[in-house]
Each structure stands twice: as structure tokens, then as C-alpha cells.
Amino acid sequence: MLKTHKPAELEYAASPDQSAAAPAHHPVIIVGAGPVGLAAAIDLAVRGVRPVVLDQDSRVSAGSRAVSYAKRTLEILDRLGCGDAVVRRGVAWSHGRVFLRERQIFSFNLTTDEGHRRPPFVNLQQYHLEEILIARARELKLVDLRWQHCVRGVEAADDRATLTVETPDGPYQMSCDWLVAADGARSTVRSALDLPLQTSAPGDRFLTADVVMKAEFPSERWFWFDPPFHPNRSVLLHRQADDVWRIEFQLGPEADADEERKPESVIARVKAMLGDEREFELESVEVYAFGCGRMDSFRHGRILFAGDAAHRVAPFGARGANSGIQDADNLAWKLALVLARPRAGAVAGPPPARRRV
């Protein structure tokens, strides 16, 4: 049985920009309300910048997405005011084991010394992380979150970017000093500007199953090469919040994705791994082929690309969401400084009076 997590609906609301006589202008518009876009928006807001965030969906992400957040990412989330919520909600871990068939051949402990405020990793489903980030953005009251506002066109100029946005009430236009494209691997902004993403050939296919079950396994990362329940391939097991376990099966490049994602096929694989006695339900199932790629430049005039929109990495090592949130951390303070500078051609006020010493 497929028991997909169903997050609360995020309500569409019309913006005054939609009825403005001329396109409204904003300092920063962010396209994409995933972890990267939300982190960038929160970071700008805590620096006093009012960003607009556009997202085409009406809910947070569903299914098997990002799962592990590294200590550096947790430190960034601390600064943004939501690290405690992520750590409380998630599953901290520092140990891992590697098996060849049924024999353990390696183990590791990522805690090298004591005194660190945060664990090496916390596992948490991406939809929970996004819910936490949305709550923090709303708390700050400077972030203009717009759901079901879908970018359909982008025009770039030397001093601004202009967007055409589709909504349930029809299209409208808006412009900004800086546009941040954080809209994922299939970036609408990148496509609208016809900017290429240099990619490698797709590699192996993997089946990712998020399984709800009660299990006594420790909160560790377990990885098998050539296990008896999945010969000649690899398998990964991770614990998440709410008794959800991430299981990844290497399938090989020729696997039939449609057949592999059928519930009966997934259940058979999970039973071969866990045994017939273990009770479980499927929360989500995905089949993907990972590939790596990047844009030649992450900046094109007033348009900045971050996260998967700028660079795709293989999921091993939890580098997707972590690298994207670190992109936002690297970008926001610089963008805030640029926005704080007087505009070229602006009329400056009188110089401060000199004091006699």
C-alpha cells in the first residue's frame, strides 16, 4: 500500500502587484520555495531585505527527496533561526557501517571530538524541513511568499530582470533588481533564458523507497555491497523522523523505471531485505538516474542561479540540499551588501558637516 505523506495545502493569494497599473518593482525576487530558495529568503530578511518568493506549487515537496543535513548546514540553519526545530524534529547520527554481502568490512564515527553544538548529520524528510523554513519565513514578516505564482517568462536587462507570472487569476508582470533562480534541476528560469547546463551522461538507476515501519535498528547509515537480498548491486538504509526509513536499491542503467516503481515490485524487494515477518507500509517510491552537471557561470547579469538550478551532483554524500543551502549562505550576505549601496546615478544627500577638532 502506498501511503504518501500529504502536507497541508498552501493557499494561493492574489498580490496587489497583479492589479498594478505598471509592473511592480522589488529589490529581490526568488523563484523556487524549496530549501534553497527559502533559506535565501530568510537570510535576506534577517538582513532587512524584503524578498518576494514565487513558487508554482500549493504544497511543500512530496516523496523521496533530500534526507541528510550536515553539521555545516545545521550551523547555517542556526543562524537563520530554525536549527533547533530541525534537530528536534530529525534523527541525529554519526556512525555508519559498510557490509560486503553479510560481513561488515568497515565502520566509521564522524564525531572526531567532543564539544560540537550540532551532530555530524541530522536526517529529516525534506517536506518537514520546508515546513520549518516556511514557518520561520512567516515569522519574520518580511518575506512575501506567493504560492501558485508560476514563472512563464524572463527578460534580462542590464539593470533589472522582468518576469511574466501565471496565477489562477491570470498573468501579470513584475521586475526586480536581482533575480535568484532556486527552482531546481529543471529550472524554469534557466530554460526561459535558454542557458545550457553542461551534464555528464546519466549513470545507474536507483530505486528510492521511504518505508514506514517499527524497527530496532540503530540510527546509523548502513550500506551493503552485493547483499544476498539484492545480489550484484548496492543497498543503503537510513532512518528518518516518524519511523520512516529510507532504502535505496541500485538497479543498474538498463532497469525499467515503470516496472520497478510498481508497489508490488518494491514490496518484493523490501521483503527480501527485511523478511516476511516485518510489517511496513510504503510512504513514497521514486526511480531516478543520477547525473552531474553545472552551468558555465552562476551569474548572468542580474540573474543569479543557486542549488540544483546551477549545479547537479550525484546524491552520494548528501551533497544536493547541503550544497544548495550553502549556496544561499554564500549569496545572501553579498546580495544584501550590494543592495545597500547607493544606485548609480542616484542623487546623494549633502555630505555630513565637518566637526572642528
Same domain, 56 and 132: yes
Same domain, 314 and 237: no
308: nearest Cα among 17, 19, 3, 36: 36
Residue with cell 540573474: 303
| Angle separating helix axes 126-140 and 35-46, nearest 10 degrees | 20
**The predicted structure's pLDDT at residue 116:** 85
Give me the domain span that covers residue 273.
Answer: 205-289
Which of 261, 289, 317 is at the close of a domain?
289
Cell reading at 329: 549562505
Q: pTM for this structure?
A: 0.91
Structural domains of the chain, count: 2
Same domain, 164 and 258: no
Cell reading at 82: 530554525
Measured in degrees and rounded to the nearest 5, phi and psi for residue 313 equal -130, 155
Residue with cell 557561470: 297
Question: What is the full per-residue pLDDT of the chain (357 aa) written as tens digits?
Answer: 555 566 777 999 999 999 999 999 999 999 999 999 999 999 999 999 999 999 999 999 887 688 999 999 999 999 999 999 999 999 999 999 999 999 999 999 998 777 788 999 999 999 999 999 999 999 999 999 999 999 999 999 999 999 999 999 999 999 999 999 999 989 999 999 999 888 776 678 999 999 999 998 999 999 999 999 999 999 999 999 999 999 999 998 889 999 999 999 999 999 999 999 999 999 999 998 877 889 999 999 999 999 999 998 876 666 779 999 999 999 999 999 999 987 654 444 433 443 332
Torsion of CA 345, 350, 351, 357, to 10 degrees: 180
Strands 198-199 and 170-181: unpaired
CA angle 310–311–317, rounded 5-degree value: 140
Residue type for position 140 = L
**Domain-embedded: residue 25:** yes
Cell reading at 343: 544606485
**Domain-embedded: residue 347:** no
Using an 8 Å Cβ cutoff, are 303 and 161 in contact? yes
Same domain, 194 and 163: yes
**Domain-embedded: residue 94:** no
**The predicted structure's pLDDT at residue 357:** 29
**The predicted structure's pLDDT at residue 3:** 59
Residue with cell 550553502: 326
